[in-house]
Structure 1
Amino acid sequence: MSISTADYWDTYYPSLDESDRDELLGKGFSWTQWDHHGPDEGFLQQPDTALELGSGFGVHAAYLAMKGVRTTGVDISPVQHGRACRMWGDVPDLRFELEDVRDYLAETNETYDAIYSVWAASWFTNPAELVPLVRDRLNPGGVYAFSQAPAVEGCYGAQGMHVNGFKGKKGGIARWFYTPDMWNGILRNYGFLNVEAEIIEAPDPEDLGTLLVRAVVPPGG
């Protein structure tokens, strides 16, 4: 038995103190599991407009908006969407949409300089469905960037995960894993150029690193 993506993020995403905005913003824009580690928002190449796929409680989108980037965050979880609206509703040039990212990308007429995902929707969505939609919503020269866990060697494509542990109630959800070279091929196949895909080593090399990917739409669109 599987559960919906919305139910997963409603139920299993960590809770937080919604009043402590300064502490959250003080961690900066981090693509990895650790604060102030690896690239920051500069990895997006200074966009004027940005779209976050799977924005959760909205801290990355809010951080960009406070830097002057007109930012939209999309999330499928009513719980996370509600948190984001409560926490950052007063931030100019920032809005949050409650929708499946695929539906939003297919329906919107807006285009963006950057579309990104931090350990979120790009990991939990079939790239064959998501990547062409992202490509269509990026401006010429626009950036698609995302981070997630690296693949386990020899285990690629859709991978099922039991969300309640091996002794919990039934319920599973899929995530997609590929090597950096595989991501390079996938993104180039959909018309992206200048693909960079690498695993960022953890502060302790014995710990799990982060797969970080960036690709660019050709300047001519």
Structure 2
Amino acid sequence: MTSAAPTTPAEYWDKYKPHRGQGDQPRPPARAFDWTGLADGGPGAELLRSPATALDLGPAEGENAAVLARAGVEVTAVDFSAVQVERARRFWEGEPRLTFVHAEACAYLDQGTDRFDAIYSTWGAVWFTDPEDLFPRVAARLAPGGVFAFSHREPVVGQYGAQEMGGKWLEGRETELTVWRWQYGPEQWADILKRHGFTAVHTQVLTNPDPAALGTLLITATTAP
């Protein structure tokens, strides 16, 4: 039986993985922090500068959060897909420093006042949330001198700003659902971050081993000490 098409963004991510009838998947490995999804030996958790606390926005299966937790970091991982959160909790049950929270990123950031030494997103919520809404909230919840870091697919030249996204659950279906992602080039992201008070912005494109494929845009910034 074919599953019904999603009608909300949260439902889209509920059904994003597993997909194509593959059924539930085994727990992914948590060997090293990965920004690209390609296990290519690129930069790792050192970009977060050894935080004591960290917030993961859009953790999906949660392997990066688990890597940090196993290294002694107190990690909170927030995802607005109920299915993703339930699966991640099951995968990493028993990790004492890791907490998964079911919430939308901006709503979660509005709820508390405690601050994190690092806030990060690997192909996660930063890519799928308007930065004009998200970045002020991130800045408010980062500790002084804290690190904000995120990665997403290298953007196609000229395809900047809010981009309508297709996907395995949107292609060829009659649905009113539109999923958006916000993607910019390195200089554009730097300008947006600086406008919201971030400093020490560093951008880089990590190339894909496949020369025909797009790479990963990786950005780090800090708050004032």
- Tell me if both proteins adopt one fold, taking TM over 0.5 as the criterion: yes
1:204 aligns with 2:179: no
State the SS of the aligned residue for 2:158.
Answer: coil
Q: Which residue of 2 aligns with 1:65?
A: 69
1:80 aligns with 2:84: yes
Unaligned runs of 5+ in 1: none
Deviation at 1:84, TM superposition (A): 1.2
Deviation at 1:87, TM superposition (A): 1.4
Q: Answer whether contact 1:72 1:95 (CA < 8 A) is retained.
A: yes
Q: 1:167 aligns with which of 167, 172, 175?
A: 172
Q: 1:131 aligns with which of 119, 135, 152?
A: 135
Q: Which residue of 2 aligns with 1:180?
A: 186
Structure 2 residue identity aligned to 1:214: T
In the TM superposition, structure 1's runs of 4+ consecutive aligned residues that sit over 4 Å from their partners are none
Q: Structure 2 CA distance, aligned partners of 1:167 and 1:204?
A: 28
1:93 aligns with 2:97: yes
Q: Which residue of 2 aligns with 1:17?
A: 25
Structure 1 residue identity aligned to 2:112: T
Deviation at 1:165, TM superposition (A): 4.9
Deviation at 1:14, TM superposition (A): 3.4
Q: Answer whether contact 1:161 1:173 (CA < 8 A) is retained.
A: yes
Q: Answer whether contact 1:125 1:176 (CA < 8 A) is retained.
A: yes
Q: Structure 2 CA distance, aligned partners of 1:4 and 1:108?
A: 26
TM-score (norm 1): 0.91
TM-score (norm 2): 0.90
Structure 1 residue identity aligned to 2:58: G
- Is the alpha carbon distance of 1:45 and 1:158 closer, same or farther for their aligned partners in structure 2, counting shifts above 3 Å? same
Q: Which residue of 1 aligns with 2:200?
A: 194
175-184 vs 200-209, greater mean Cα deviation: 200-209
Provide, for residues 150-209 of structure 1, a one-character-per-residue CA deviation record: whole Å limited to 9, x for no partner. Answer: 221112110002334542332320000111000000000011111011211112333210
Provide, for residues 111-140 of structure 1, a one-character-per-residue CA deviation record: whole Å limited to 9, x for no partner. Answer: 100000010100000000000000000001
Q: Structure 1 CA distance, aligned partners of 2:170 and 2:53?
A: 39
Q: Structure 2 CA distance, aligned partners of 1:3 and 1:128?
A: 25
Q: Which residue of 2 aligns with 1:110?
A: 114
Unaligned runs of 5+ in 2: 1-5
RMSD: 1.8
Q: What pairs up with 1:23-42 in 2 under 5 angstroms?
A: 24-26=29-31, 28-42=32-46
